[in-house]
Chain A
Amino acid sequence: MGEKTIEIKVLRKDAPDAPSRWERFRIPHRPKWNIVSCLMEIQRNPVNAAGSPTAPVVWDQNCLENVCGSCTMLVNGRARQACATLVDSLGTAIELRPLTKFPTLRDLVVDRTPMFDALKKVKAWIPVDGTHDLGPGPLLSEEDQALRYALSQCMTCGCCMEACPEYNSGSKFLGPAPMAQSYLFLIHPTGRLHQTELRRIALEPGGINDCGNAQNCVRVCPKKVPLTEAIAGLYRETTIQWFRDLFSRPDR
């Protein structure tokens, strides 16, 4: 009796400036395996479907439990975490490609530095006075905590960036994830003390006004981060600021 197998087609690239090429692998099918288990099987047996030895497929990974954001790739065309994608949900033919909105560095590894740079741009942090003991932080309602917690589960994986039509090489838009992080800090009681600055940053080119409201982001987010709720909230905040600045900011 022949063993049940699955075929995996991987879009590979040896170096950032090298051409891409497809390579096929055939591996045994095992129930409950995820994409990462398949790629690990290729590491243990680096032979392609034609029977030729080859370099194991290279991908980013760390936690393998859908919380670190490393292993994002296009699985059968959809941006998702390789660790949280079970092969049983995909049939017997699987196609893996790197995300397209970031430069490919090797095989399925892409450079997501722009996402982290965007967090710098929107000042996604609380400007604490120091780490020494200053007593408890501000009180927070359960409701506010729930929203902040939901937004703070963003793992910078890039699925929303891949899905967003406005995030592309021709646009300055920082993308949905950094917008939601901007809002996360704006609604914190300490962030509120800096709301003018934070709102003005969000009004700059590449900010909230470049969002086209396609709402693709929220549909693909693996952490169900309420991205559109954050974007709508940020839009309200910045509108208030825009009006204020219109009438009172002397440099306008």
Chain B
Amino acid sequence: MSEPRFVVVGGGLAGLMATIRIVELGGEVDLFSLVPVRRSHSVCAQGGINAAVNLKGEGDSPEQHFLDTVKGGDFLANQPLPKGMCHDAPAIIYMLERMGVPFSRTPEGRLDFRRFGGTLYHRTAFAGATTGQQLLYALDEQVRRGEADGRVRKFEFWEFLGLVRDGEGVCRGIVALDLRTMQVHAFRGEAVLLATGGPGLVFGRSTNSVTNTGSAAAAAYLEGAIYANPEFIQVHPTAIPGEDKHRLMSESARGEGGRVWVPRKKGDPRPPGEVPAAERHYFLEEKYPRYGNLVPRDIGTREIYDICVNQGLGVGGEMMVYLDLTHIPREELDRKLGGILEIYEIFVGDDPREVPMKIFPAVHYSMGGLWVDYEATRDGLPDPSSPRNHGTNVPGLYAVGECEYQYHGANRLGANALLSCIYAGKIGALAATRYAANLRSSSEGAPSSLYESEKARWTERFAALSRMAGPENPYRLHQELGELMTREVTIVRDNRRLEAADGKLQEMMERWARIGLTDAGAHFNYPLAFVNQLRNMLELARIITLGALQRDESRGAHYKPAFPRRDDDHWLKTTLARRALEGPVLTYESVDTSLVRPVERRYD
């Protein structure tokens, strides 16, 4: 009998880790990715990965890491999985170290750690300022080893379209589009793991890569998977604006001592170097003496908004503040932050070693995503042997990484994303193989008509899309979507405007049906694929907006001035979005706070 074969969609950290684990557990993997996996969005992560190994003698511990994570998420996270993640973090770091990740070192040759937001400990291991790239490469290399051994088949330049489900609703495989030939194919799998990343492109320009449309997660949602906490979107306080995308300026810049300030005088025309220290408003340090510039991202972003919009103190009157590294020695900056300084130099043209950077907040990460389950042991840790871990409500469909909603609650702490991707990939893979071992009938035996009919349905759908000949340009429509979502559904939210935004989104869905395509190509017809993605982005945009509209409180990244406080009595709840015929339906379920009782979240 052949080895059980699994489908993994997405080749970032979560998908690659899942692939490595499945192979290690005796399975084989068909790995699908829009881009060669080594080019996945994890490559953009800069600052580092958290693990409380306490190599600086500060008394740090996995339990403290867990407490910081849950508090950072404003107590909206179900607690067992983050607890498991924080306790496994040291082992994950050591695994990555053994895989050859060139982590930055101390003089003794050990791993170095830096500070990051939302904690008072040096807990973040890093490889210069391109940690995500280095982690992705290490996992990519291990997957390539599996590929060389014939255990992994890669399908790169393939796009996930939808699920193949049998008569009982069990997920038995996927339908995918070969972008090289624009042909649709169906694939069998004992289980399917989605590791398809976040939906940054729903907001038009974000810090995300262009493949981060959220389209795959939305497709699963449209086929019955529950999408949880869609309204929790992280806006990163420090990015540099661009026409094609906004580029992240890592939190590690502040972790290494970078200071955020604006001139105290409104409209001060002087260049930053000529503003004397006494006339600089270090607003984060003044308001949050304990955490200073390293408050969690939701707080940093709101403070920048307050300074720029409410107080009118933004640099040049714009939504812009200084992020200042000029007091740090050049050599240290080059060694620890070289990668991000280079980005600033290339795209802005100034040398951040000499001139304070001008930065602004940009959409960065989705805490929400596909709803996934877990099973906890009596001591509150996830039970690693449970096939329920990371399973969606669709049997046989798993989700790992940014495309699911666990771990981060209402706000993610910096350097916890890489960790949650790898941890989720690890335990999600184990759960999927357990699930497959318990299956009464293998997908190998599923009738081929199941696959043929789904393939035919999607082939017909793409044929219909390619015939669209209306007046709307899909890229301009996407631009409008992004402008609307960024304006109405990011840092500050208001119910009347959210309602209006949802109306606009429904109009855009109608306009979507009037799109026209000018590309009839049978190879790499990206515009055609984009039209399908755009539809899915609009579906996600609606549940993000409706989730925000319903939630009358302020918690983590979700902030409504009309409801400025967290309201645990009514809203210590996970939002569950389901797709019904008439549109999205939102319900709520309680949060598992069995390990730490929610308290007021303060950083001052």
Q: Which residues of B contact A65 (CB under 8 A)?
A: 44, 245, 247-248, 343, 347
Residues of A close to B111: CB separation below 8 A: 136
A197 to B100, CA, bound (A): 18
- A5 close to B (CB within 8 Å): no
Beta-carbon contacts under 8 Å, A50-93 to B: 53-56, 58, 60-70, 83-84, 86
Of the four ranges (under 10, 10 to 19, 20 to 34, 35 or more), the interface on chain A belongs to: 35 or more
| Total residues of chain B contacting the partner, CB 8 A | 74
Q: Which one of A56, A61, A131 lies within 8 Å of B519 (CB-CB)?
A: A56
Does B98 lie at the interface of the complex (its beta carbon under 8 Å from any beta carbon of A)? yes
Knowing A62-B210, A120-B147 touch, does A134 contact B98 (C-beta < 8 A)? yes
Number of A-B contacts (CB under 8 A): 206
Q: A145-153, A212-220, A230-238: which lies at the B interface?
A: A145-153
Task: Compute how far the CA of A63 lies from the CA of B44 in the bound complex, rounded to whole angstroms.
Answer: 7
Q: C-beta contact mask, B77-98 vs A, less than 8 Å → 1, else 0?
A: 0000000000000010011011
Known: A32-B243, A133-B91, A139-B110. A106 touches B521 (CB 8 A): yes
Determine whether B41 belongs to the interface, using a CB cutoff of 8 Å to chain A.
yes
**Most chain-B Cβ atoms within 10 A of its Cβ — which of A34, A66, A137, A141?**
A137
Q: Which of B116-124, B133-141, B264-272 contacts A (4 or more CB under 8 A)?
A: B133-141
Which chain A residue has the least Cβ–Cβ distance from B241? Answer: A32
B141 touches A125 (CB 8 A): yes
A136 → chain B closest CB, angstroms: 5
CB within 8 Å of B: which of A23-42? 30, 32-34, 36-37, 40
User: What is the CA–CA distance of A128 and B426 in the complex, to the nearest angstrom?
Assistant: 16
Choose from A14, A83, A141 the contact partner of B105 (Cβ within 8 Å).
Answer: A141
Residues of B within 8 A of A205 (CB): none
How far does the alpha carbon of A55 sit from the alpha carbon of B40 in the complex, in Å?
26
| Chain A residues, CB < 8 A from B426 | 131
- Does B99 have its Cβ within 8 Å of any Cβ on chain A? yes
Quick check: which of B361-369, B456-464, B473-481, B589-597 contacts chain A, the rest being far away?
Answer: B473-481
Asked if A94 CB lies within 8 Å of chain B CBs, one says no
Instruction: A58-B525, A125-B144 are known; give 17 further A-B pairs, CB within 8 A.
Output: A30-B243, A32-B242, A32-B349, A34-B244, A55-B521, A56-B519, A58-B524, A60-B35, A106-B521, A126-B138, A134-B94, A134-B95, A135-B94, A142-B104, A146-B335, A152-B134, A153-B133
Residues of A within 8 A of B (CB): 14-16, 30, 32-34, 36-37, 40, 43-46, 53-56, 58, 60-70, 83-84, 86, 105-107, 109, 112, 116, 119-120, 123-128, 130-137, 139-142, 145-146, 148-149, 152-153, 155-156, 185, 188, 190-191
Which A-B residue pairs are the 7 nearest by beta carbons? A139-B109, A137-B97, A55-B519, A125-B141, A133-B91, A106-B524, A149-B102
Q: List 19 A-B contacts (CB under 8 A).
A: A14-B523, A15-B522, A37-B242, A46-B518, A58-B524, A62-B39, A62-B210, A65-B44, A67-B133, A67-B339, A68-B40, A105-B524, A119-B144, A123-B148, A124-B141, A130-B24, A131-B21, A152-B102, A185-B100
